Structure 1
């Protein structure tokens, strides 16, 4: 993968590759319990891309997806790792997805809500992480239910419990982990969306830069890099996206 120096410069206006990392999605990034350093498939991909460009990597870490997206859209970061969404795509050039993640609903054990079709009613309030893929998607799709925004995706279930809401929406694995800690909760048995996790760069960096990033992601999927990274970090329930 020969990368023109003009493209390298486009990706690194500060001399470093600044990668926006969202710790709000544990499938993609987390903190190492010993070192406290960010770890995960997003970080692995960021390091690999910096190596391709032969530049130094700087991680710009956030606790929520919305903040991570804003950093790239405002060009405070050069690349990021997000769920593909039309609203985000106004300022960000996305690659094809590298990982697919399922979004599920969580309710109380005794809730009358038995299926996804039972959620969108005016008497239901749905907790989502502010600015997350679920927030953006459900803000378009839900016509009657009220959306209640938690500060971050990891605090969705806390908000759901504290405010006595009817539904929580989020990453299946995060909801399952929270349900194991708190008795009396259950996931509905059908996903409401598939989140396409992709890499992105500001559109202002140009078509050539966007093309290089797209090619990089395809190579990382095809080579087994993404699959190996998910396995190394013990991530279950997420699948490598098919080739574009």
Structure 2
């Protein structure tokens, strides 16, 4: 499991609102330690990734938390992890302040979510010569599906799959590797991740369409003042309406996800 901490010292916030003390108070509510601790899951390439031979993470999630810290006038600590489950553990354990999570009713405990801001597709991947050609053919007795352990797709498929068997892989980026190594029938995950792996390994094909659409939100550690959550919700709405989010997605090459309009 990856857990890497990076401290980014940010300059004092310029242009604070007339009641600067209000922003300072909100900063204390959102980040009680005085540093905004952002937990970033590298298992979701739509929101964050690390380029080869680099130690610093990049992506839409990083752009958002940097802007959030800048507006609050706080230093930023980036904590990178390998799975959404670990992100939840850190926020629930008060070891992190904010993160990004799939909107799912089973994931709400201990984390307060903003409305969703981005939607992504969950798809299936099979071998080129697999007899499976549609999503509907996946749920059959004897079929095994590789999926990232405790990922949103794992949670969804647990509810929906009746006859096939789920094979849980430690982290989502390793799904295709284990799908090939263990000779599993189907791989399930984020479209972009599966497409990248299909191009890397060869001899694989995506099933048409999607089996699930997942919406992502920013999450704030639970138990904070309601004003803190309201401020974060307003911040994310502005990031969407202003074009900040769309620009960030374009800059990082995120083409197969869509922005969810506020409200």
TM-score by length of 1: 0.94
Among 196, 206, 220, the residue aligned to 1:177:
196
CA distance in 2, matches of 1:223, 1:111: 45
Deviation sequence 1:110-165 (CA, Å, 0-9, x none): 22222111111221111111121111111122122211111111100011111111
Partner of 1:65: 84
CA distance in 1, matches of 2:221, 2:140: 37
Alignment pair present for 1:115 and 2:134: yes
Partner of 1:26: 45
Distance 1:36 1:19, change over 3 A: same
Alignment pair present for 1:204 and 2:223: yes
Q: CA deviation at 1:20?
A: 0.4
Q: Is the 8 A contact 1:126 1:146 kept in 2?
A: yes
CA distance in 2, matches of 1:160, 1:33: 23
TM-score by length of 2: 0.88
Larger Rg: 2
CA distance in 1, matches of 2:50, 2:155: 26
Q: CA deviation at 1:34?
A: 5.6
* Unaligned runs of at least 5 residues, structure 2: 1-15
Q: CA deviation at 1:183?
A: 2.6
SS in 1 for 2:108: helix
SS in 2 for 1:205: coil
Among 145, 154, 163, the residue aligned to 2:164:
145
Q: Is the 8 A contact 2:27 2:34 kept in 1?
A: no
Deviation sequence 1:199-240 (CA, Å, 0-9, x none): 001221132221111111110000000011111112221221
Q: CA deviation at 1:58?
A: 0.3
Q: Is the 8 A contact 1:203 1:210 kept in 2?
A: no
Q: CA deviation at 1:16?
A: 0.4
Q: CA deviation at 1:167?
A: 0.8
Q: CA deviation at 1:52?
A: 1.6
19-28 or 201-210, which moves further after superposition? 201-210
Alignment pair present for 1:233 and 2:245: no
Q: Is the 8 A contact 2:118 2:260 kept in 1?
A: yes
CA distance in 2, matches of 1:225, 1:13: 27
CA distance in 2, matches of 1:10, 1:157: 41
Partner of 2:123: 104
Q: CA deviation at 1:57?
A: 0.6
Q: CA RMSD in A?
A: 1.6
* Unaligned runs of at least 5 residues, structure 1: none
Q: CA deviation at 1:4?
A: 4.7
CA distance in 1, matches of 2:225, 2:124: 38
SS in 1 for 2:77: strand
Q: CA deviation at 1:173?
A: 1.0
SS in 2 for 1:38: coil
SS in 2 for 1:101: strand
SS in 1 for 2:262: coil
SS in 1 for 2:231: helix
Distance 1:111 1:33, change over 3 A: closer
Q: Is the 8 A contact 2:23 2:72 kept in 1?
A: no
Partner of 2:28: 9
